Structure 1
Amino acid sequence: MLVDPTIAMWSDRLFQATLVVLLLALVFASLEYAAGRVARAAARQEELAAVGASGATPARPGDDGTAGRATRTRADRHGRIGVSLMILAALTHLGSIVLRGFAAYRWPLGNMYEFTSALCLMAVGAWLVLVRRHPGLRPAGVFVLTPVVLLMFVTGTVLYLDAAPVVPALQSYWIIIHVTTITLASGLLLVPGVASLLFLVKRHGKPASWAAKLPSAESLDRLAYRVTVLAFPLYTFGIITGAVWAEAAWGRFWGWDPKETVAFVAWILYAAYLHARATAGWKNSGAAAWINTAGFATIVFNLFFINMVVAGLHSYAGV
């Protein structure tokens, strides 16, 4: 038996459940973000009322800050529910990936559906770790969840494939080393990509309705830098192991295949970002953030356009 259909079915159901739970988490993250804006507006109104009120003016409900505290508490409650749902989604998502591997009797990273699914899991896991360590970043969760939910939807519809054995070229232990490393790195790099975009929004203050609620520009810049510092060595190792695998499979380490070329361009961009970010005068600069954003855009381009449109030796998308 090449594939266990029962296990494959449960893998698919867990994936679908994960998407539903992530959608709910996105709803609560959005409610937290919106409630935070209401809290700031209420606090501002209270401040203006306190400045302009005379001693004879009777106190109004909420002028003592009770309404603002209640709104902030509501925002915190929404945020905590959102994080709890993300944890549940991560568990069901991990179960889906593990069952996919058992169903097909192989490492579950053999096509675009499986790769993108695992990338989303890594992004959610990285964000949960960051929020655990730095709770003040939680209001930005809606902007991390949005691309993850979109990717999950595309993965479950456009990229979906039934569980099946991989093509002979992928039947190698290198798929465990190379593809897993690239998946981990790509999932991690989604977070600094979003953080750099939010840094640019915060720095320029436009749109104002978004910028006001975001964490400080310094914290977003620091987040983008630290996660990139962690992900870049993984990405580098993934490229190196890919070259070793290419030599074993095709008799050459590097052949400027489209996927290899774009992956190298992304590596150059991230190396330039880290160098710029570590250079005096570039810290908290928009130029460094743009470079980081361009790096992640290149990874997304490589993931979708190169895999699905351009023909090459790495055309294993299955779609």
Structure 2
Amino acid sequence: MIQARGLGKSFRVADKQPGLGGTLRHFFARRLKDIPAVRDVSFSIEPGEVVGFLGANGAGKTTTLKMLTGLIEPSAGDVEVAGFRPFRRQAAFLRTITLVMGQKQQLIWDLPPLDSLRVNAAVYGIGEAEARRRIDELAEMLELGEELRRPVRKLSLGQRMKAELLAALLHRPSVLFLDEPTLGLDVNAQARVREFLADYNRRTGATVLLTSHYMGDITALCQRVLLIHQGQLFYDGSLQELTQQLAPYREVCCDLGEIYPPEAFRGYGELESLAGHRVRLLVSRDQLTATVSRLLSTFPVLDLEVNDPPVEEIIGRLFREGAVG
């Protein structure tokens, strides 16, 4: 459904030096330079897959999404989405995809969402009766009711985001590009949006490429992830395999009967946090049994838990390193 081959994008910007002299030289003899944003990115996504697209700020995620949706033309390589070349912006292609950006909105601020939805239906050539049926179906899935009849400016952020999703899916696209769809939402609203997206994928078989800084979105929806760093793709595989590869340690959390200084835990692994009676350690898997035994015999342990480290911490370490070990 989505095929990227050697995809690259560079932006030409002014090469201006600081200071008055640099400004004068730039005025009379402007120099330009090319800044690579995405370099040699290749991947393919099958119909019906839900794939997470992860990277730090500035890694090239949004630039890649814009090339996949035809908003910008690649500087190098080739891309196909549902058999179309996105940058040609053919009407049939635009009816096949949708792009939802958490920091952008398409609904008209002073009008109820229902009015904007009717406009969208007209743009896509959806008849009034069919549009009404689709709106009712999606509104039920999104738990939207009277909110569709109130001005957008009077809706909560979570209600607005759900209305944005409804507007983006009204034409029943087969490919969804979601860029931070839960940005700024509270925990409950995030959970409802995730449930809706999972349900929509099951019902329609839509292909989804999702970027998010909330790892809860990725772990709830995606079995496969793409990781990009400094414009280059350096991992394409299952999230489970990634966490196993990058987490050769376990998280040990202890509630202690007394308060100890940080140096008391030297030699027990990596001290991640110490807050009052609670200590959190990262312990290598091959040392886990011995370390837990020493903790129990040395400290007044009231409670002890052993877990895998949070996946967001694992991914964060990976971004800092910039490569898979």
Same topology, TM > 0.5 = no
TM class by smaller structure: under 0.3
Give the structure with higher Rg (CA).
2
Q: Could you tell me the TM-score, scaled by structure 2's length?
A: 0.27
Q: Which one has a larger percent strand, Structure 1 or Structure 2?
A: 2
